Amino acid sequence: MVPWWLVAVLVFGTNFILWGGVGLLRATATSCAAAYRRTRRWSRRRHLFLTRRPVRGFGCFPTDTELAGGSPAAEAPFGTDRVAVLMAAHNEELVITESLESVTELVPPGNVHVVSDGSTDRTVELAERAGVNVISTWSNVGKAGALRQAIERFRLVERYPAVLLLDADTRLDRNYFRAALPLFTDPGIVAVAGFVRTDWDRQGMSWLGKLLVCHRQRIYALGQYLLKFGQTWPKCNATHIVPGFASMYRTSVLPHIEMNPPGLVIEDFNMTFEVYQKRLGKVGFTPAAVAVTQDPDNLRDYVRQTRRWALGWWQTVRRHRPRANLFTCMVSLLLLELLTSSLLMVALPLVLVVLLLPLLVPATAELLVLGPLHEALSTYVSLFSLLFGVVAVDLLLTLLVAVAQRRARFLAFGAFFLALRFLDAALSLYTLPMAWLTRSTGRWRSPGRRARGAEPVESAPSTEPDATTSGGSGG
């Protein structure tokens, strides 16, 4: 009989345990280093106060920076005036103004660059009204193609040391750059992944919309705290994605990254693989570099976006050959667990039916197929194992996220997250063969957007095929 804890490991994987443990070590090491620096700083300050010794001939006491032993890690190598912001937008009139307002409060408007990718609404007009640099592509080329064109036409590599790739539906937290830029103090860091939070404040969402947004935020929280924080520790650096919603790159590495290879539906997985597989550097990450993005609040857009992301993942895995490095090991473990957990999640309803039906309706145990199948499954797995290994563990993860995020709504929706995990697993398996059987054009359409305080607007009809053969990473 398979014990419940093994069922939990098979369904939820060992990555959370492995990288969560690494993240705990990172947090402990960082706290110890900070405590040591504080102790050393106050010790030196006390000594200098008692001796009244002038510092560096200025006849004054040293600053905190000098007491820390030179240039501290918290001091950015360059300011926001030397950071370019690049936003690709396709029919984003409902949200682009608010996103541009959030970023122009932090960087000069002249540093912000918008590329409209075949927009047919007021996207260009609103961007120009915001006082930023605006260009349009010659046709709808997809997000990756639009970004590549904009980098070349704006000459961002020659003009700026770093560029922030920002989605049109994303708002930056006021402390984003204050938290993210110091990571570039390490010359080995070539990209900084933003910390994503979903937009909780949209009005008029249905019950299903709130559930979908809550589920997506739970995924973000678990993935960032239990995976990405450990994966981006400089001592063992290997993360599978620098998300394209609000992340920064050193412009010096962009010429070495193939941003828009043919056949891919999204760009951020591929750019991350390029960084590691070409040994361009490491990825930095801090939970303090927060940006808020909109997530789908209707089932149709949620399915399309999840399917597009899953397809983009498999396409990227197909494109990049394994290498003898930590990144390939990390990806291999992630792939193994993604396949096993997805298969188990998809099979879970059938297993429950086979185990429960003969108990609820004893006559079904005499059926030709169900009876022997029930007997065979009962030998290896029990309802107790499924209850504790799947349901209880999932509820425990929900409780942890609710406490960490200080949001009671996670508990209200906790009983429904397993159903959405089943949907995610089914979409992941559905798109797996498509990565080898289809090719994507990269053209995109965003999910339905919602201006603050307004009803959601469905995405405009498109003449392009569905996201299995085309699409983008917008939103």
Instruction: Kindly report the three-state secondary structure assignment for every residue of 224-258.
Output: HHHHHHHHCCHHHCCCCCCCCCEEEEEHHHHHHCC
Asked which of 21-35, 250-264, 455-469 is least confident by mean pLDDT, the reply is 455-469
Q: Is the dihedral of CA 418, 419, 420, 423 positive or negative?
A: positive
Could you tell me which residue, 9 or 59, shows the higher pLDDT?
9
**What integer pLDDT is reported at residue 446 of this predicted model?**
66
Beta carbons of 110 and 84 less than 8 angstroms apart: no
d(CA 292, CA 200): 9
**What integer pLDDT is reported at residue 282 of this predicted model?**
98
Residue 208 has pLDDT above 80, yes or no: yes
As a whole number, the mean pLDDT across the chain is 87
Amino acid at position 88, single letter? A
Laid out side by side, the sheet with 246-250 consists of 133-136, 112-116, 83-89, 162-166, 246-250, 189-198, 282-293, 170-172
Residue 288 has pLDDT above 90, yes or no: yes
Helix axes 417-431, 393-405, angle to 10 degrees: 100
Residue 443: phi and psi, rounded to 5, are: -70, 150
d(CA 6, CA 12): 10
Strands 246-250 and 162-166: antiparallel
The pair of structure tokens assigned to 354 is 């086979």
Which range of 55-59, 300-304, 382-386 scores highest in mean pLDDT? It is 300-304
Rg (Cα) of the chain, in Å, rounded? 25
Amino acid at position 372, single letter? P
Q: Please report, rounded to a whole number, the percentage of residues in the chain having pLDDT higher than 70.
A: 87
Q: Name residue 284's beta-bridge partners.
A: 192
Residue 62 has pLDDT above 50, yes or no: no
Please report which confidence band the pLDDT of residue 48 belongs to, taking 50, 70 and 90 as the band edges.
low
d(CA 235, CA 222): 22
**What integer pLDDT is reported at residue 7 of this predicted model?**
86
**What integer pLDDT is reported at residue 203 of this predicted model?**
74
Beta carbons of 446 and 91 less than 8 angstroms apart: yes
**What integer pLDDT is reported at residue 5 of this predicted model?**
84
Could you tell me which residue, 458 or 270, shows the higher pLDDT?
270
Please report which confidence band the pLDDT of residue 68 belongs to, taking 50, 70 and 90 as the band edges.
very low
Q: Is the dihedral of CA 400, 406, 411, 414 positive or negative?
A: negative
- Tally the residues of the chain: 475
pTM of the model: 0.86
Beta carbons of 168 and 92 less than 8 angstroms apart: yes
Q: What is the mean pLDDT of residues 363-370?
A: 79
d(CA 308, CA 442): 10
Q: What is the mean pLDDT of residues 364-368?
A: 77
Please report which confidence band the pLDDT of residue 39 belongs to, taking 50, 70 and 90 as the band edges.
confident
| Span 151-184, pLDDT tens digits | 999 999 999 999 999 999 999 999 999 999 999 9
| Span 228-249, pLDDT tens digits | 999 999 999 999 999 999 999 9
Q: What is the mean pLDDT of residues 255-268?
A: 94
Residue 459 has pLDDT above 80, yes or no: no
Please report which confidence band the pLDDT of residue 1 belongs to, taking 50, 70 and 90 as the band edges.
confident
Indicate the helix (H) or strand (E) that contains 151: helix 143-153
Please report which confidence band the pLDDT of residue 210 belongs to, taking 50, 70 and 90 as the band edges.
very high
| Span 321-339, pLDDT tens digits | 999 999 999 999 999 999 9
**What integer pLDDT is reported at residue 6 of this predicted model?**
87
Please report which confidence band the pLDDT of residue 449 belongs to, taking 50, 70 and 90 as the band edges.
low
d(CA 237, CA 221): 20
d(CA 52, CA 50): 6
**What integer pLDDT is reported at residue 13 of this predicted model?**
82
Q: What is the mean pLDDT of residues 338-349?
A: 95
Q: Please report, rounded to a whole number, the percentage of residues in the chain having pLDDT higher than 90.
A: 70
Please report which confidence band the pLDDT of residue 30 belongs to, taking 50, 70 and 90 as the band edges.
confident
Beta carbons of 123 and 96 less than 8 angstroms apart: yes
